[in-house]
Amino acid sequence: MPMQKYEYMSNVWRDGIFENKVVFCTGGAGSICSAQVRAMVHLGANACIIGRNVQKTENMARDIETARKGSRVLGLGGVDVRSPEALAKAAEKCAKELGAIDFVIAGAAGNFLATIDQLSPNAMKSVIDIDVLGSYNTLKATLPYLVESAAKHKTDGRTPPANGTGGRIIFVSATLHYSGTPLQTHASVAKAGVDAMAMAVAIEQGPKGITSNVIAPGPIAETEGIARLSKASAKEHAKGIPSGRWGTVKEIADATIYLFSDSGNYVNGSTVVVDGGQWHMAGIGGQFNYPDFLLSGETVTGVAGMKKSKSKL
């Protein structure tokens, strides 16, 4: 069902700032990434979203198109970010049909809850492959197009870019590894790798005009992550968040617009944390009784994103 504007972006942004630009997004059918893309499309961009589930990805593409009359959003399902070849073909199709790739969001991720005791080598490898190698494959597939876009859309920070902005990538990460998070070893290691990659891209590709940054969402309401990985209610969880509430997808989309727009010209190699200050609490928000739940040896229950000890990812 189409969303109302204020559900996916603030009213402060001027219409048309991404006119004739193209955004390529992995994980684009997900609740957070789809809001990021929807906001870009509302502001003039066309888009290509990538996902594994064909029907879900194609349906989301049609839904995102409702953000702006006349927009074009390609939904390329059946694409696994762990396949460099599949992503290269997707990027080529996007550029051929929409004319370019100016912005990239590397948002595909995998996660569940598991202690190290429960975490199999295969499960660990799968998360690393999806998050780290998937982000790398996304970068490699789109980098030639980003270099071309950056060359066309240069800015000196003193005058408005004649052709708008371009040549920018955002890696969607997390705050799990900042202070350490139980049951999230796999995701923490993966996201630390994603952060390191984003910084390397900023250093190496910055001289070509490309900007590479990270958005690290905290707990975002009404998302798959909250539904699968948290058994605490919003009220209970909010006790561990200085801002006193879960975030919204709109707030992640606003950060995306900031980094991709003229306002983010000189932001490169940075991490924008959008979590209401939660990571500074260095706690787990009362969701589990630490360390008792670890010492008990009991299996985690009550959440959809649980990793069972005998299951194979």
309 is catalytic: no
Candidate list 191, 212, 250, 261, residue with the active-site label: 191
Q: Give exposure, 46-76, as e/b (b: 16+ Cβ within 10 Å).
A: bbbbbbbeeeebbebbebbbebbeebbbbbb
Question: Is residue 226 domain-resident?
Answer: no
Question: CA-CA distance, 275 to 255, in Å (whole number)?
Answer: 12
Residue 161 lies in a domain: yes
Task: Give the whole-angstrom CA distance, residue 177 versus residue 182.
Answer: 10
Q: Which residue numbers in the chain have pLDDT < 50? A: 284-285, 309-313
Residue 157's pLDDT is 87
Active site (annotated) includes residue 173: yes
User: Tokens 């005009």 belong to which residue?
Assistant: 209
pLDDT recorded at residue 311: 37
Residue 310 lies in a domain: no
* CATH assignment of the domain containing 166: 3.40.50.720
Q: What pLDDT does 309 receive?
A: 45
Question: How many domains does the structure of the chain reveal?
Answer: 1
Give the pLDDT of residue 135: 98
Enumerate the β-bridge partners of residue 273.
216
pLDDT computed for residue 292 by the predictor: 76
The residue from 126, 173, 188, 212 that is catalytic is: 173
Boundaries of domain holding 184: 13-218+246-277
Structure-block tokens of residue 171 = 């890696």
Q: Quick one: pLDDT at residue 313?
A: 38
Does residue 250 fall inside a structural domain?
yes
SS3 271: strand
What's the pLDDT score for residue 281?
83
In a domain, 46, yes or no: yes
CA separation for the pair 204, 223 (Å, rounded): 34
pTM: 0.90
Residue 238 in domain: no
Closest Cα partner for 205 from 153, 146, 158? 146
Smallest Cα–Cα separation from 28: which of 121, 94, 92, 84? 94
Give pLDDT, residue 310. Answer: 45
